[in-house]
């Protein structure tokens, strides 16, 4: 089989289920266009939300000072580009889900901490955000599909949440779960996806200083298409590990299976650490292209973050790169 570069194929996602969504979407938007109605997300110069839609209860906290330890040589991706090219399968399987994502209800929003912890707890996302030490960090983001971006996230280390949770000694893994709102996130009505979206980390990965819980971006509260009110940023792993719309953190003894592991054998698995030497089933990973400029760069081991994370893995063991 010949592997092609991601940007030589279409911008659709990769699983058979996703292809089905695309077909359904195509029919739906095609019919709407014929009926003469205006859908907000047709065409390529459509406008999308780049400011939070509703008054955000934490808006007074922004902007937050930048932590100068987390900078990038590459230019920031303009919000006009990153806010209209997203992966959020709850809202659709192509990149133009920003309009659909505005249907998500993000308040009230509860965060549940459970499993192997001293005391399980439920707290409102606003309480959590106000308790945490917010900072801005500029991170690279590399999607498994080979597109990449540079974003100024606001948030706090995942390690702070782990400390708040006080896990028991037996806790070795962290499972994280997204919301379930099938009424508003219409792809959640598709039964062949194992909703809600869920991801996992080994506890030492969760405690690594790079693992960052995101509450805002570009100096303002997080946009819905970016995963408001709470998402993860794991810049050394493929983007699908950076779970959006977080509601649940469960501490476990055993490694959990993730959303994408359940969907397909030929997708990357639990670890998904970025390595240009380990191709996807259907394309190479040795290069990446930037949203906006389309500039192409060589993919770096751990997306350029090897210094911070390489010690956590056996680099000879292939499993850590799938």
Ligand X SMILES: Nc1nc2c(c(=O)[nH]1)N[C@H]1C(S)=C(S)[C@@H](COP(=O)(O)O)O[C@H]1N2
Which residues contact Mo ion by CB under 5 A? Answer: 87, 143-144, 239-240
CA distance 100 to 131: 31
Any contact of residue 143 with ligand X (CB under 6 A)? yes
Contact 46, 121 (CB under 8 A): no
244 binds ligand X (CB under 6 A): yes
Of the listed pieces 63-71, 154-162, 243-251, 313-321, which binds ligand X according to CB under 6 A?
A: 243-251
Beta carbon nearer to Mo ion, 116 or 228: 228
Q: Which residue, 87 or 187, has its beta carbon nearer to Mo ion?
A: 87
Distance, in Å, from the CA atom of 235 to the CA atom of 211, rounded to the nearest integer, reads 8
Closest contact distance (angstroms) between CB of 244 and ligand X is 4
**Judged by CB under 6 A, which stretch of 81-89, 156-164, 279-287, 309-317 contacts ligand X?**
81-89
- Map 272-298 to HEC letters: CECCCCCCCCCCCCCEEEECCCCCEEE
36 dihedral zone (left: phi>0; alpha: psi -120 to 50; beta): left
Closest approach of ligand X to the CB of residue 246, in Å: 8
Q: Which residue in 194, 149, 148 sits closest to 175, CA to CA?
A: 194
Closer to Mo ion at the Cβ: 212 or 240?
A: 240
Omega before 196 within 30 of 0, i.e. cis: yes
Residue 28 tokens, joined: 């739906």
Sole binder of ligand X in the list 79, 116, 165, 243 (CB under 6 A): 243
Stretch that binds ligand X, among 39-47, 156-164, 242-250, 271-279 (CB under 6 A): 242-250
Among 89, 195, 302, 313, binds ligand X (CB under 6 A): 89
Tally Cβ neighbours within 10 Å of residue 183.
10
Does 77 bind ligand X (CB under 6 A)? Our answer is: no
One residue of 15, 58, 87, 285 binding ligand X per CB under 6 A: 87
Give the separation between CA 82 and CA 88, rounded to whole angstroms: 13
Contact call for residue 321 and ligand X (CB under 6 A): no
**Rounded-to-integer distance, Cα 273 and Cα 275, Å:** 6
> Do 55 and 114 meet the contact criterion of CB atoms below 8 Å apart?
no
How many residues touch ligand X under the rule CB under 6 A: the total is 16
Choose one: 1-9, 235-243, 279-287, 299-307; the region binding ligand X (CB under 6 A): 235-243
- 216 touching ligand X, by CB under 6 A: no
Q: Residues 21, 62, 70, 88: which binds ligand X (CB under 6 A)?
A: 88
Quote the tokens at residue 177: 């779960």
Is residue 106 within 8 Å of residue 228, measured between CB atoms? yes
Q: Under the rule (CB under 6 A), what is the footprint of ligand X?
A: 86-90, 143, 178, 197, 226-227, 239-240, 242-245
């Amino acid at each position: 089989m010949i592997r092609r570069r991601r940007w030589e194929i279409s911008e659709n996602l990769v699983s058979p289920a996703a292809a089905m969504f695309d077909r359904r979407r195509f029919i739906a938007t095609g019919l709407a266009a014929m009926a003469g109605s205006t859908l907000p997300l047709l065409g390529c110069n459509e406008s999308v939300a780049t400011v939070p839609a509703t008054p955000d209860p934490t808006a007074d906290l922004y902007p937050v000072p930048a932590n100068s330890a987390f900078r990038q040589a590459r230019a920031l991706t303009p919000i006009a580009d990153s806010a209209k090219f997203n992966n959020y399968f709850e809202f659709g399987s192509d990149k133009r889900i920003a309009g659909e994502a505005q249907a998500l209800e993000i308040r009230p929003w509860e965060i549940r901490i459970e499993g192997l912890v001293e005391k399980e707890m439920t707290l409102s996302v606003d309480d959590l955000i106000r308790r945490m030490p917010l900072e801005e960090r500029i991170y690279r983001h590399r999607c498994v599909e080979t597109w990449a971006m540079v974003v100024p996230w606001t948030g706090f280390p995942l390690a702070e949440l782990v400390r708040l949770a006080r896990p028991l000694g037996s806790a070795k893994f962290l499972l994280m779960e997204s919301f379930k709102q099938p009424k508003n996130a219409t792809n959640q009505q598709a039964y062949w996806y194992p909703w809600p979206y869920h991801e996992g980390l080994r506890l030492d990965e969760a405690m690594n200083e790079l693992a960052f819980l995101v509450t805002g971006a570009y100096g303002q509260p997080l946009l819905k298409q970016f995963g408001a009110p709470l998402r993860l940023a794991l810049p050394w792993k493929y983007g699908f590990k950076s779970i959006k719309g977080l509601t649940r953190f469960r501490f476990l003894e055993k490694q959990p299976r993730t959303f994408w592991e359940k969907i397909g054998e030929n997708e990357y698995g639990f670890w998904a650490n970025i390595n240009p030497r380990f191709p996807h089933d259907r394309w190479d990973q040795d290069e990446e292209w930037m949203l906006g400029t389309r500039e192409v760069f060589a993919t770096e081991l751990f997306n350029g973050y090897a210094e911070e994370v390489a010690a956590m893995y056996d680099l000879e063991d292939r499993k850590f790169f799938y």
